[in-house]
Amino acid sequence: MADELIERSGAQIAASVRSGSVSAVEVAAATLARVRAVDGLFGSYLTVLNETALARAAGVDERVRSGEQLPLAGVPIAVKDNMCLDGTRTTCGSKILEQWIAPYTATAVARMLAAGAVPIGKANCDEFAMGSSCENSALGVTRNPYDPTRVPGGSSGGSAAAVAAYEAAIGLGSDTGGSIREPGAFCNLIGFKPTYGRVSRYGLIAFASSLDQIGPLARSVEDAALAYDAMAGYDVMDATSIDRPVEATAGSLREDLRGLRIGIVKEFGTAALGDAMDAVYHDAYSDLERLGAELVEVSLPTAEYGVATYYLIAPAECSSNLARFDGVRYGLRVGGEDVRQMYDRTRAAGFGPEVKRRILIGTYALSSGYYDAYYLRAQKVRTLIAQDFQRAFEACDLIACPATSCPAFEFNAKNDPYSMYLMDYYTIPMALAGLPALSVPCGWMTPAGGSVPMPIGLQLSSPLFSERLLLGAAHAYEQATKHAQARKPPSRVNA
């Protein structure tokens, strides 16, 4: 029974708990047992919330008995450890916050809990969400459940690994330049980034405030839609939250793509990715057409500048946001002879190499004499990228392109910053434009030198505030192709 419970979808779990055929406590206990069995290998969680999960689950059972119709009743979730949850250790994968206890709960997390979700633990991530592989965490190593010698993707790698390894049904991640979509692709999941401002950032510890967006990782589009419906909506506590009605998505998932025009980006050719990746994406585009979509070529001429633009804007905002971690107000403090020395020692000991690198880049880009040449120019290019998307969507309803340039790679395979930054090539343009985008499993390939087939993700994107269209199309593709069901990670591992 326990094995079967943890492999149910979130929608199936919620329906079972609402019907009374299983209790939320039973689901939580089975999930926690799974964590104890396998997380020693996968390292999905930095903190496992045993008592909190069981207490929350008991509360859900009480609410169900009282007649509440909870859309996520008893659904176990992994919460990325850059989101606050009252009374829990919230670290951002950094030594500077290693012992910090959150005094409040992020709005997105609170809304998931209000819908009946049960938090299993705080999931590992690249330090302050800065990375594409989850290798930058200062507090733990997270491994891909499909091949533990490979990375799970980042920065939301812990949430992705937890869902892929059946240590949660849904994971909460944050996406700044691809940090939900890339681990989704690497771990055979739906990784969904909503429109910027659609889900409140209140309680999300900021990396780049004009880009950060919370979204779900799930084993099905239906589960991603349920999570989005629970989280989305205006929040007075977030100045960037959009005060606009939200269309429910979970009840509007479509079965085919008839009548849709899907744009294939001229500048995002796949031949350069190698024969195997090229074949996977060629087949994916053919499947879209087979399901009734009309494929049209569109152009994003400024997309090639996305990586350079992002790695000026995001570090600049990071430099500003992380100035608060100075050893005075909260987090790590390393003493010194004066305040300046305390600042220097605290930040030197508390921040890892990638965080320091981005702070330095951002501070330089914002400095006197360089602001106009770098940061201001990057913002102008960002506007051009958004305008390119607007023109492209005049010719199509959705855009399809790769989610990543390769399958999950081995640890330390991309040990120079340039190679790692290029991992975001296909995901950054959508983030700069604030568009909703997701990764959906589209096939498998065995990497060069590897022995295990690894999942590949297709990225779909749509105009601002068109989450219903995007999720509906992804569901049709997912149900017709069933790539995610082709293989499962090991169901039992001796930790």
Catalytic residues: 80, 155, 179
Distance CA 473, CA 239 (A): 31
- Residue tagged 């008839």 (tokens): 258
Please tell me what DSSP assigns to residue 485. G
How many C-beta neighbours within 10 Å does residue 210 have?
Answer: 18
**Please, what is the Cα angle at 211 between 205 and 217, to 5 degrees?**
75
- Report CA torsion sign: 313, 320, 209, 158: positive
Distance CA 430, CA 211 (A): 10
Q: Judge whether 319 and 362 are in contact, CB under 8 Å.
A: yes
Residue 313 neighbours by CB under 8 Å, 6+ apart: 208, 210, 211, 375, 378, 379, 382, 432
**And the tokens for 99?**
């012992």
**And the tokens for 89?**
């250790």
Q: Judge whether 436 and 195 are in contact, CB under 8 Å.
A: yes
Environment class of 336 (CB within 10 Å of its CB; exposed 0-12, middle 13-18, buried 19+): middle
**And the tokens for 489?**
């990670």
